[in-house]
Amino acid sequence: MSRAKSEGSGAGAGRRSSARRRPRPEQGAPDAGGRARGALRVREAMSEREPGSVTLFIAEKPSVARDLVRTLAQTGKKLVSRTGFFEGEGEVVTWAIGHLLELFEPEDYRPEWKRWRLEALPIFPPEFRLRPIPRTKAQLDVVLELLRSPAVGEVVNACDAGREGELIFRHLLEAAGRTGLPVRRLWVSAMTDQAIREGLENLADGRDFEALEAAARCRSESDWLVGINATRGMTVKCGTLLSVGRVQTPTLAILAEREREVRAFIPKTYWEVEATFTAPSGTYLGTWFGPEAPDGRLSDPDRAGEIAGRVAGREGTVEEVESRRSSHLPPLLHDLTQLQREMNRRYGLSASRTLHLAQDLYERYKVITYPRTDSRFLTGRNIPLLVPTLAALAAAPGPLAAAAAPLVEAGKLPLSGRIVNDKRVRDHHAIIPTPNARGASGLKGDHLRVYEAVARRFVAVFYPPAVIESTTVVTRTAGEAFRSRGRLIVSPGWLAVDESGRPGGDEEEQALPALEKGTPVRAEQVLPVEKATKPPPRYTEASLLQAMDTAGQLVDDEELQEAMKDKGLGTPATRAAIIERLIEVGYVERERRTLQPTAKGLELVASIPTRDLVSPALTGLWESRLRAVEAGGLSRREFMADIREFVGRLVRDIAALDAGGLKEKMRRVVGPCPRCGSDVVEGRQAYACSTGKENCGFYLWKTVAGRRLRPGEAEAILSGKRTGLLRGFRSRTGRPFAAYLELGEDGSARFVFPERKPRAASARGRTAGSGRP
């Protein structure tokens, strides 16, 4: 048994965790010591060049810059690696590392805005300004030095093709003071050499993307205004730190509303009579129904027992057989949200994990197209690549080869508006595999799962509809009627390739024997079964992503989902981060595969006075207005004027809020203090005794050996129990390990290692983040 190391200082804390050490520089960026060297190298490289003789490419990340350099080399343009950029004869390629600049904090505009005071709200900067992000300042210096060089005659925006990539690039131009430079845009949806080469041959005029830039600035600045003013206002008013956001708060409201429904639900007991019938062709199940209970649910258990007793062992006949065949079209291709939902539903992967894997498959392995898309359709420009992509899948080793081969042999694909529809594609088409199918041969684990989901759906959309026969049978025995339902796949069609979109529910999966009207049967086993109504299910990430996509309305029909997309919460690229943010600030917890709001999250949603801020539908309208800015139908000035009016009203409502007792309601008690018996409550960084550090001083750090300690785990420790085996800890050397946690005799939490690791049995006096701060 060993005491575990805490993240932070305090009695028994030992050395500081490796998480507190100086972080390593971002990959591809010069370190602080190389900053001057990088800028100097830029000046040396550009000083003797003719003014306007260089085309500067700016990629969003180093890996994309390397792909650009490789593709340029294939056209005879050789570039040499320097510190922070690649240098060629007429071309220079450099990169950002995501955002290199961020918006000013309030105190950067005015020192008096540093203090959080209601009287200072609303905070409206006269104009939004930018500051460097410290950890990537070195690379920023290189990019700005290049942009300011007189040798640069034009610049190619090679950042990610979307709203955020446009903003990253425009911020850099603004910081360099070179907004007048001619700009061309590289817009690609795959990172294969062929796709990049075609993009370079068809560079767009940067002026065509000014509306996209305007929408990106509106999104960034409106989030700042709402977040800063609402967070400060609610924090000051309630006396506890509260994070409030334009999109995260209505997302939290969706979860809070469902949680209230679950808690208010009162289950009702009912009884069903279930029978097993034997016919000459086989057995099948049936459920009683009658005039007194058309749905088969009886409130009287005696009545259910009476029916069961009268029917058991009796002969009967099939009274009615009704069959109906239906044709089910293949599901649409994947966009990011649908891919995240499928991976969560099938494998329990979080939205952020799926996004990371998909981005890896796009950038590193180059086996799928751009993943951060909101479209489930292709464009006419994609048609020439469809057969080559299918041919690559047919030739590659793997289970999809046999499914793709018949489509290639047929020559002509069955294209329709459900597959190719230019009007339904804005920035990027649906996620599909690239022709680089052999690049997927080495994929394993979750990478392979995500790739196969994309590839299977791509093949499936070209297959014929699935034909399913649904049958309802009514059996009459001893004067009582029983209903049976069954489904039979007559023609699998696309289901032979991709079963993830299988229509129908499990309750109708019974395979019925051959029955017809008048078939004699016998009731072999008849039982009254006690059941209870169930509350609405808590959200999983899969169902929450759907609710965000449709502004809180759960819609199953794919066409209706598509129609509501413009009014969803956030974008496919931001939703994963929103969910993680809600968990990070303590408003939501993951419980197995469900998401549950905490007391703090529930009280926040209930207390916000401006209900527009917690309304998913109204917040969805803001997103539709951003789309209008992006399409050029609404000016940036109009959008921001509406946001300022909204923020002003929000601040007035917060100022008038009666917040008495809210801080106490938001406290989460996780158990009794082992030292003094008072409540231990959840704080930002620790679970601490409510008497304060100046009195008892007991605490459990919320981060232990690099792993977040969940409230339920803290409750187990404080109740004197041992937690289950917890994974995800990291040693001082960075090695992962698993252990149990329990409360030691001295009131501190201690690691208990599994018995199969005997070396872990020696006690070395390290606490698991508890003690006196």
Is there a contact between 450 and 340 (Cβ–Cβ < 8 Å)? no
CB atoms within 10 A of CB 77: 15
Tokens of 219: 């999104």
Which residue in 370, 463, 687, 699 is the catalytic one? 370
- Span 67-92, average pLDDT: 94
Q: DSSP strand E in 311-367: where?
A: 315-328
- Span 474-491, average pLDDT: 95
Has 362 been annotated as catalytic? no
- Span 72-99, average pLDDT: 94
564 pLDDT band, cuts 50/70/90, is low
At residue 445, does pLDDT exceed 70? yes
- Span 257-265, average pLDDT: 95
At residue 22, does pLDDT exceed 50? no
Measured distance CA(538)–CA(535) in Å, rounded: 9
Between 82 and 18, the higher pLDDT residue: 82
Helix intervals (H) in 510-571: 541-549, 558-563
Note the pLDDT of residue 554.
56
Between 517 and 760, the higher pLDDT residue: 517
Between 562 and 154, the higher pLDDT residue: 154
At residue 432, does pLDDT exceed 70? yes
Note the pLDDT of residue 414.
94
Note the pLDDT of residue 557.
60
Residue 338's nearest CA partner among 620, 543, 578, 591 is 543
Note the pLDDT of residue 660.
81
Note the pLDDT of residue 25.
39
For residue range 683-700, what is the model confidence (pLDDT) as tens digits? 767 888 888 777 788 888
CB atoms within 10 A of CB 102: 14
- Span 574-581, average pLDDT: 94
**Average pLDDT of the chain to the nearest whole number:** 88
Going by the DSSP 8-state scheme, the letter that residue 567 receives in this structure is G
At residue 17, does pLDDT exceed 70? no
37 pLDDT band, cuts 50/70/90, is low
Is there a contact between 107 and 232 (Cβ–Cβ < 8 Å)? no
At residue 62, does pLDDT exceed 90? yes
For residue range 114-123, what is the model confidence (pLDDT) as tens digits? 999 999 999 9
Helix intervals (H) in 281-350: 301-311, 336-347
- Span 385-393, average pLDDT: 95
Global pTM value: 0.83
Between 693 and 51, the higher pLDDT residue: 51
- Span 124-142, average pLDDT: 95
Percent of the chain with pLDDT over 70: 90
